[in-house]
Structure 1
Amino acid sequence: MTENKNYQNPEVQEPENDELEIDWMDILRRIYAIRKTLYKAAGVGVVLGIIIALSIPKQYTVTVTLSPEMGGDKASGGLASLASSFLGGGSNNNSDALNVTLAPDIVSSTPFILELFNTRVQTLDGELDTTLVTYLDEQKQPWWGYIKSAPGLAIGAIKSLFTEETDTTATLNPFQLTEKEAAKVKGLRQSILAEVDKKTAMTTITVTLQDPKVTAIVADSVVAKLQQYIIDYRIKKAKEDCAYLEELYKERQQEYYDAQSKYAHYFDTNRNIAFQSVRAEQERLQNDMNLAYQVYSQVAQQLQVARAKIQEEKPVFAVVEPATIPLKPSGTSKKVIFVGIIFLAVCFTGAWKLLGYNYYNQIRKLTK
């Protein structure tokens, strides 16, 4: 009898497909079996969704886009270069330590934020017209925010019983801030952001607060202060040079006038005297007067160049997108938060009932 070599015992026959097969019908039956629990989880999610969605205050975002043209990066045809070449001097284009990419660091710096504290703001409904630092106390926060800040408030209240009240109208000191001032600085640092496109040098200022009009006012104030900060920095050196040349110009002018007066007085006094000594003294005084005039003239030329350089170094900012009062709140809408919490409640409950509960029981049996 010929033995069948292709015959295999069914008990030892290897399966052709080892892939895990998912029985979707079994999963649907198990989900249907716990449908009442899922309904309860959805009900709990509805309650939590309403509480959380209503607790989160609305926020509004204003974005301003700037296109800065830095004065120091201009070509050699600037005012100072033209004045220098016209007056006989050479052009000098020095590199600047302040780069446009430093705008985010400037906006987030503590001195810059402290300057915003006294900005006058007004809410859209007109009920509040005060400074920004006072408005920050009026902003709402979720109920869990009060729970988190409760220990700090309690500690602060206890400390206030043993310490004297400080004058709140005193000038803010960036070197030493109080805990409340530091918290407000940190909050504003998170609410005011600046980004710079390194390729195009476009600067984007983004401000997010709870009132649309206050947000627009703060965004406009941030842009104005940033522009003034960069302008003051850029022209600081040129203004110092100009002030020094102003003093030097007055000194050399007075020296020239004194030398001219001496020469004129000596010439008038000794006009008809033919002594050689008189002529020598007259020639010396004339040379002193001419030398004083040359120095005076050179300083005057340098002063004109320095005055032109102040205007040349002043940067020009083109506001591509100005600050406007937003009409709709930003961020995740309350509807999305509401639906998301219901979805998460149902998903977590279903996962626990289908998978987590069984694993939990197995772990408990092993630990006994």
Structure 2
Amino acid sequence: MSSKETQIVTLPEFSISRFLTFCLTKKVKIVFIVLISTLLGLIIALTTPDEFTSNTILLPETSSGTEFSSIKGLAGLAGINLAEDSDGGINPEIYPQILNSTPFTTSLLKQVFYFQDLGDSITLYDFFTEHQKTSLFSKIIQLPMSVLKAIKGESEQLIIHAESDFVSLNKSQIEAIEELKSRIMMSVDINTGLITISCKMQDPLVVAEVTKFTLNYVSEYVKSYYTQKELVNLDFIRERHAEARKEFEAAQVALASFRDSNRLFGRESARVEEQRLQAEFDIKYNVYNNLTQQLEESKIAVQKKNPVYTILEPIKIPLEAAEPQRLVILIFSFVFGVFLSVGIYLISFIYGMDKKL
């Protein structure tokens, strides 16, 4: 029986000191990589346009009963979400979807704002498609798409068919809408009911105006949602009230005219006609008086349904840009360069150890 000898191969032990010594021999290349990374970070920091933010915080107050509010609060603590209030109000989670809707975005894109850097008033859509600043790297990335866009020659006109329920948008307009959506955010605290609207733009005055427009749009939308039924009823009663008033005044004039023309006559036929006119006058008066009361009650109902917003944090014009955080970018690029260079030579060091096996 032949004997077999087993050869045991021992891997060289990794030594931090040896690795550091190895890095010192590559210090020039490591410093070069770190400098390149930091330089790229500096370019990004300097070429990235300033972005200003503005926000507002408001508390909506509706006609919901306190009893239901208490139940809803307890349900929230138990992890149960009651979608609607006792009056069929809007689910708070739906609020942000209002700002993502096409009617809102197209309406805002058509608004004209004054841009200080341009020294001119243009629509938000024109700014996004023609004047918005981008970083150098974004321009490089978007260059192929820009060339294709120029070749295709897409229409830049925002087309909205007012006479129908359809909105026709081309690719450029859809991109502008997506850009707008990324710059406007709305959050709702389910527990407190606080609504926060935050906007980001490249002009400090424009961002405040966009935030104001957004706040007004949401307020009017919710107001219309809560009061639409009462407003329809109010319009109907107002029309009937106007008709009843005309009929009442006509009956009043007819009765007065008959009495004036038959004051000296005591005929029975005149007395019967006067009674008929008087009865008609009384009916018209009662209808008019009843509709007047209903009109006032309907106005009160609309007012009760009308939601009220308490603004806890007013809209302010930002004094300083929120983005980019240039110091953070520089620090990150420097640290990234260090880790990248060390990682490269760590792999090289380990690979060099493997070659010795």
Q: TM-score range by the shorter chain?
A: 0.7 to 0.9
- In structure 1, how many angstroms separate the alpha carbons of the residues matched to 2:102 and 2:348? 49
Deviations 1:215-250 (A, max 9, x none): 222222222222233334433333321221122123
**SS at structure 2 position matched to 1:73:** coil
Aligned to 1:141: 134
* 266 and 49 in structure 1: CA distance in 2 versus 1, 3 angstrom threshold: closer
Aligned to 1:28: 20
Q: Where does the alignment leave 5 or more consecutive residues of structure 1 unmatched? A: 1-20, 76-92
**SS at structure 1 position matched to 2:168:** coil
Aligned to 2:144: 151
- In structure 1, how many angstroms separate the alpha carbons of the residues matched to 2:45 and 2:258? 95
**CA shift at 1:214, angstroms?**
1.9
Aligned to 1:73: 64
The within-5 A match list for 1:240-255 is: 240-255=232-247
- In structure 2, how many angstroms separate the alpha carbons of the residues matched to 1:303 and 1:263? 26
Please tell me whether Structure 1 or Structure 2 has the larger radius of gyration of its CA atoms: 1
Letter in 2 for 1:143: L
User: Structure 1 vs Structure 2: percent identity of aligned residues?
Assistant: 24
**SS at structure 1 position matched to 2:193:** coil
* Aligned-residue RMSD, C-alpha: 3.5
Letter in 2 for 1:154: V
2:321 equivalent to 1:329: yes
- In structure 2, how many angstroms separate the alpha carbons of the residues matched to 1:356 and 1:32? 14
* 351 and 296 in structure 1: CA distance in 2 versus 1, 3 angstrom threshold: same
Aligned pair count?
A: 319
- In structure 2, how many angstroms separate the alpha carbons of the residues matched to 1:352 and 1:253? 90
**CA shift at 1:47, angstroms?**
2.5
Q: Is the 8 A contact 1:30 1:354 kept in 2?
A: no
Deviations 1:48-67 (A, max 9, x none): 22222223222111111112
Aligned to 1:272: 266
Deviations 1:86-128 (A, max 9, x none): xxxxxxx982443454331112212112111233323345734
* 152 and 332 in structure 1: CA distance in 2 versus 1, 3 angstrom threshold: closer
- In structure 2, how many angstroms separate the alpha carbons of the residues matched to 1:193 and 1:225? 14
> So what's the TM-score if we normalise by structure 1?
0.73
Letter in 1 for 2:266: N
**SS at structure 1 position matched to 2:322:** coil
2:311 equivalent to 1:319: yes
Q: Is the 8 A contact 1:255 1:292 kept in 2?
A: yes
Per mean C-alpha deviation after superposition, the further-off stretch among 280-289 and 322-331 is: 280-289
Q: Where does the alignment leave 5 or more consecutive residues of structure 2 unmatched? A: 1-12, 67-84
Aligned to 1:49: 41
**CA shift at 1:335, angstroms?**
2.0
**SS at structure 1 position matched to 2:167:** coil
**CA shift at 1:279, angstroms?**
7.5
* 265 and 322 in structure 1: CA distance in 2 versus 1, 3 angstrom threshold: closer
